[in-house]
Chains A and B, each alone.
Chain A
Amino acid sequence: MANTSHGIGGLTFDPKKRTRPPELNVLAALVLIIVAFEVLGQLVIGDSFLFNTRDNVDTLFNEQRLQIIILQVAIVGIIALGVTQVIITGGIDLSSGSIVGVTAMVTMSFAQVAVVNGNPNPKAIFGAEWMDLPVIVPLLVGLACGLFAGMVNGLLIAYTKIPPFIATLGMMVAARGAAKWWSKGNPISFPTDSYAAIGKGMMPVAIFVVLAVLFHLIMTQTKYGKHCYAIGSNEAAARMSGINVAGHKVLVYTIAGALAALAAIVLSSKNLTAQAGMGVMYELDAIAMAVIGGVSLQGGRGSIIGTCLGALIFGVIISGFTFLKLDAYYQEMVKGVIIVGAVVLDQWRQTKKGRG
């Protein structure tokens, strides 16, 4: 029936008619995977995945395993927070792993101690006057490194209009080269105690959680977040609405670079050393976490919460495979299958919605 009356106004906010947030599906998948490993564990090796089975420890859950799961995804998770924002704007960042490499090398050089066990630092990069610096120096140097690399990505993408895939691929190769050039391929070690404290124990998890909360708020409550979704959803409309699309892209890639740098700082601090090969494949793991968490590669859809759940799924699967004593090679194969599967699922969901 065509309605002929006017000025009635719309039905407005009906919580029942809200579409189910896609994060719920990801959460369901996470629970399902944990249950699957639990069942497989009981059947195949007669051990529990989730619950404590040792007599000398008095806890309900296998806390050690849970800690390892979150600890091993926390650092790549920090990168994934930036990658999520990039993908939401409709881009991609392949350079984050290499930015981790070069930032770790440069940062570690500024965090070295002068004397190791009474002898001069055998891995010294600079002279003694550049050693035993306060922790703020390597932190700022590292962040500047990531900000610079990210900004170059952003400027290339926003102003030369080359596809993000190509721009960040170039940065991936170049930054890896820089990481190797920095110390002629030698590892850099022996950081100050204050630098080593950054990634000690569960600190990486704490840092990841703080950053995740911060960026969740930024993506949901600020103009920046709204514009990320708008650009990824319909770039032409965003431009016509007066959003500074080029400037926004530079900002997004710069933030992603800075987050990769933070991950490098935490990682090198945790490992007490930096190597040129650090962070290889991290960019793909980070993208995988985002995609598993429901971030659409077409842009416009996804959330920080989704990515955090995706990171947990990622960690649970790796841990589960170790728990089932399966070969490490299977892990990588399955990782590949999961990434492709998540994208196929996303595409399929979209076409289904489009028809309905």
Chain B
Amino acid sequence: MSEFILETRGLTKHYGGVHALTGANFALAPGEHVAIMGDNGAGKSTFVRQLTGVEKPTSGQIIFDGVEHTFQSPIEAREAGIETVFQTLALADDLDVPSNLFLGREKIRFNLGPFSILDKKAMREATLAALVKTGVKIPNLMNTIRNMSGGQRQCVAIARTAAFKSKLVIMDEPTAALGVQETAQVENIIRTLKGAGEPLILISHNMRQVFDLVDRIVVFRRGRMVANLRKEETDGQDVVAYITGAKTGIEYEGAA
């Protein structure tokens, strides 16, 4: 067992001549919550896409849970235990909450290939447990997602991470499109995850939210990791200085 749940070494992604991400050395300790900040196009989302198997890195290593991985697809990353809440919601509007939680990995009673009989009761119960674990409030489990508010939908997406034994949760701007009250609900879920000792990578533009929730802040600028700051040792102005490039920090050196 390594001392980190996730480690990247020299992670690099080039799109043709565009160097979207260069030599990212990142480490995440078990139970740690880290925020990734940076301007649009700084490489945050590119970084996450390499971790979640949406894209394959040009070079560099991803060591997750002590094993080096080269994810071929998001499904492989998910099977390894990395659950992601994407910026664009990956939910099917016309399905109810349990169906969305178990989409693509349904619990079944009899295996008949594609015509396997669903175990609806087990899925409903597991959904309930996941909602309790994350503290998500949904008026009725059996309603379709279509009729739910943005916050409720985001909560369902987050509860999906809790329904399975995920070892790492990544959230890509989970509250970008939400109102004040809904944002508070999502933040509560993140706190619940912290309490449960689940590690988390949070991408956010919201300074208050970041300082409220995480232990450590990593700043990206122009495809490079420019700062690795413990929350107690920094402040908003400092972080902004790194984001805008007014201040250029020492190269990131392993864990804090």
- Taking Cβ atoms with an 8 Å cutoff, the residues of A that contact B are 1-14, 17-19, 218, 221-224, 226-227, 229-230, 232-234, 236-238, 240-243, 248, 251, 300-301, 353
Taking a contact as CB atoms under 8 Å apart, the answer to whether B146 and A17 are in contact is no
A300 to chain B, nearest CB (A): 4
Taking a contact as CB atoms under 8 Å apart, the answer to whether A242 and B75 are in contact is yes
Number of B residues with CB within 8 Å of any CB on chain A = 51
Enumerate chain A residues within 8 angstroms of B117, measured Cβ to Cβ: 221-222
Q: Indicate whether A222 sits within 8 Å of B139 (C-beta atoms), given known contacts A6-B191, A9-B132, A233-B94.
A: no
Q: Of B78, B108, B138, B147, which is within 8 A of A10 by CB?
A: B138
Q: Which of A222, A224, A243 has the most CB of B within 10 A?
A: A222
B248 at interface (Cβ–Cβ under 8 A)?
Answer: no
Enumerate chain A residues within 8 angstroms of B108, measured Cβ to Cβ: 223
Q: Assuming A12-B141, A227-B114, A242-B104, what are 15 further A-B pairs, CB within 8 angstroms? A: A3-B137, A8-B132, A9-B128, A10-B139, A11-B138, A13-B142, A14-B140, A221-B117, A223-B114, A223-B118, A226-B95, A226-B103, A229-B99, A234-B92, A238-B92
Residue of A nearest to B128 (CB): A12
Enumerate chain B residues within 8 angstroms of A251, measured Cβ to Cβ: 114
Enumerate chain B residues within 8 angstroms of A13, measured Cβ to Cβ: 124, 140-142
Enumerate chain A residues within 8 angstroms of B28, measured Cβ to Cβ: none
Taking a contact as CB atoms under 8 Å apart, the answer to whether A300 and B141 are in contact is no
Taking a contact as CB atoms under 8 Å apart, the answer to whether A301 and B114 are in contact is no
A233 to B192, CA, bound (A): 31
A10 to B86, CA, bound (A): 23
Q: Of B92, B131, B138, which is within 8 A of A300 by CB?
A: B92
Interface residues of B in 98-145 (CB under 8 A from A): 99, 103-106, 108, 112, 114-118, 120, 124, 128, 131-133, 135-144
Taking a contact as CB atoms under 8 Å apart, the answer to whether A224 and B115 are in contact is yes
A207 to B143, CA, bound (A): 33
Taking a contact as CB atoms under 8 Å apart, the answer to whether A241 and B103 are in contact is yes
Interface residues of B in 3-60 (CB under 8 A from A): none
Enumerate chain A residues within 8 angstroms of B237, measured Cβ to Cβ: none
B199 to chain A, nearest CB (A): 18
A-B contact pairs, 9 of them (CB 8 A): A2-B180, A2-B185, A3-B184, A11-B140, A222-B118, A223-B108, A226-B103, A229-B99, A248-B114
